[in-house]
Amino acid sequence: MTDTTNSYNMPDERGHFGPYGGLFIAETLIPAVEELDTAYQKHMTDPEFMAELDKDFQYYVGRPSPLYHAERWSHELGGAQIYLKREDLNHTGAHKINNTIGQILLAKRMGKTRIIAETGAGQHGVATATVCARLGLECVVYMGAVDIARQALNVYRMELLGAKVVSVTSGSKTLKDALNEAIRDWVTNVDNTFYIIGTAAGPAPYPAMVRDFQSIIGREARQQCLAQTGKLPDALVACIGGGSNAIGLFHPFINDAEVKMIGVEAAGDGLETGRHAAPLCAGRPGILHGNRTYLMEDDDGGIIETHSISAGLDYPGVGPEHSWLKDIGRAEYVSITDDEAIEGFHALTKMEGIIPALESSHAMAYTLKLAPTMQQDKILIVNLSGRGDKDMHTMAEREGIKI
């Protein structure tokens, strides 16, 4: 392991995390990301902006979210003490709002009047539609036709909130295609439009900016863990779609070399089948959606269609910082199949009375494997990135139940 973690200071001024990240976009968008970068650099160090963000976190999102000691589950697994970071209790039911509330504040300061977003599971779309409703801004959400079918509830929520949901029928009709379409919209309407990207990926400064907004998760968790247990956790576990809930939890611990970080990708039907969404575990570096990062691609550099039971993890790329953390060995990346995720889903529901999102269920499933291998005085923080209400139809259908 390279000793870069003592004073971790990524990305560089051009948005690179080692060879990853960067600015791989069409020329028309360059002025837009430069404008965004200027606003982001300026406001993230502006006490007034940060105070407004803190206030919204507290009174609108409902932060801090609890760090909950899952005693019964810990006892049953017989190993590490499991602490759940309860992002499922945030307004709109997932960590996604930490980021949208931050980006919309920037959009407002930049005088943008029209907001666009892409969404997979619909959680980011809902979180975006929510903050737009609150500020009275026009909101257009791009969503793959396949995802619209499996996340109908969230589509309805977005529409109730006043957003226009555009069905994307090109390519694989999932999250990556929704991103393509959002980028096309942005190129066309760049003057008045702010693109709220939903994960820690995309052209610079998005990966660092989304991380910074999501880092509230890890900052709170660190304090809460110290307050509740008197020490730092031994390991962190989070699921990885684009990687925003994971990097949000990990980043404030990055200089604590003794804290292990584990990201859980979606293995779908199994890595060996090729039907999965695990670029860090089974892909290679390439360029997509504005950044260089691990991707799922064929020999010709074409992007492969992904598969996961969870729409929010069904993406062939990953945020560039995770690619870097993997290469330097600071974080470890594992994968969980659809079937294992369902076990994780049921385990948490039965043992703790908390129904997790299918995305988060991947982190729960890995907890089932990891916790028993750790001693009982060890502390494991698992990011419960969202609640499972949106997945009731998927789960019922999978188990042959009509609701």
Ligand X SMILES: Cc1ncc(COP(=O)(O)O)c(C=O)c1O
Residues catalogued as catalytic:
96, 118, 385
Binding region for ligand X (CB under 6 A) out of 78-86, 239-247, 289-297, 339-347:
239-247
Q: Is 128 in the site for ligand X (CB under 6 A)?
A: no
Query: At closest approach, how far in Å is the CB of 36 from ligand X?
Result: 19
Provide the binding-site residues for another protein, judged by CB under 8 A: 14, 22-28, 30-31, 170-171, 176-177, 179-180, 183-184, 187-188, 190-191, 285-290, 292, 295, 297, 299-303
Query: At closest approach, how far in Å is the CB of 150 from ligand X?
Result: 12
Query: At closest approach, how far in Å is the CB of 106 from ligand X?
Result: 18
Query: At closest approach, how far in Å is the CB of 289 from another protein?
Result: 7
Query: At closest approach, how far in Å is the CB of 20 from another protein?
Result: 12
- Residue (100 or 244) nearer to ligand X, CB: 244
Q: How far apart are CA 241 and CA 179, in angstroms?
A: 14
- Residue (243 or 316) nearer to ligand X, CB: 243
Residues 323-362 touching ligand X, rule: CB under 6 A, are 357, 359-360
Q: Is 121 in the site for ligand X (CB under 6 A)?
A: yes
By CB under 6 A, name the one of 43, 124, 307, 330 that touches ligand X: 124
Q: Is 349 exposed, middle or buried (0-12, 13-18, 19+ CB in 10 A)?
A: middle
Q: Choose among another protein, ligand X, none what residue 243 binds, the Cβ cut-off being 5 to 8 Å by kind.
A: ligand X
By CB under 6 A, name the one of 123, 224, 335, 337 that touches ligand X: 123
The torsion region of residue 121 among left (phi > 0), alpha (psi -120 to 50) and beta comes to alpha
How far does CA 313 lie from the centroid of its chain?
9
Q: Is 314 in the site for ligand X (CB under 6 A)?
A: no
What is the Cα gyration radius of the chain? 19
Three-point CA angle 380, 381, 386, nearest 5°: 140
Binding region for ligand X (CB under 6 A) out of 41-49, 76-84, 119-127, 164-172:
119-127
Q: Is 312 in the site for ligand X (CB under 6 A)?
A: yes
- Residues in contact with ligand X, shown as a per-residue x/- string from 365 to 394 under the rule CB under 6 A: --------------------xx--------
Residues 9-48 touching ligand X, rule: CB under 6 A, are none
Q: Is 316 in the site for ligand X (CB under 6 A)?
A: no
Q: Which residues bind ligand X (CB under 6 A)?
A: 94, 96, 120-121, 123-124, 199, 239-246, 312-313, 357, 359-360, 385-386
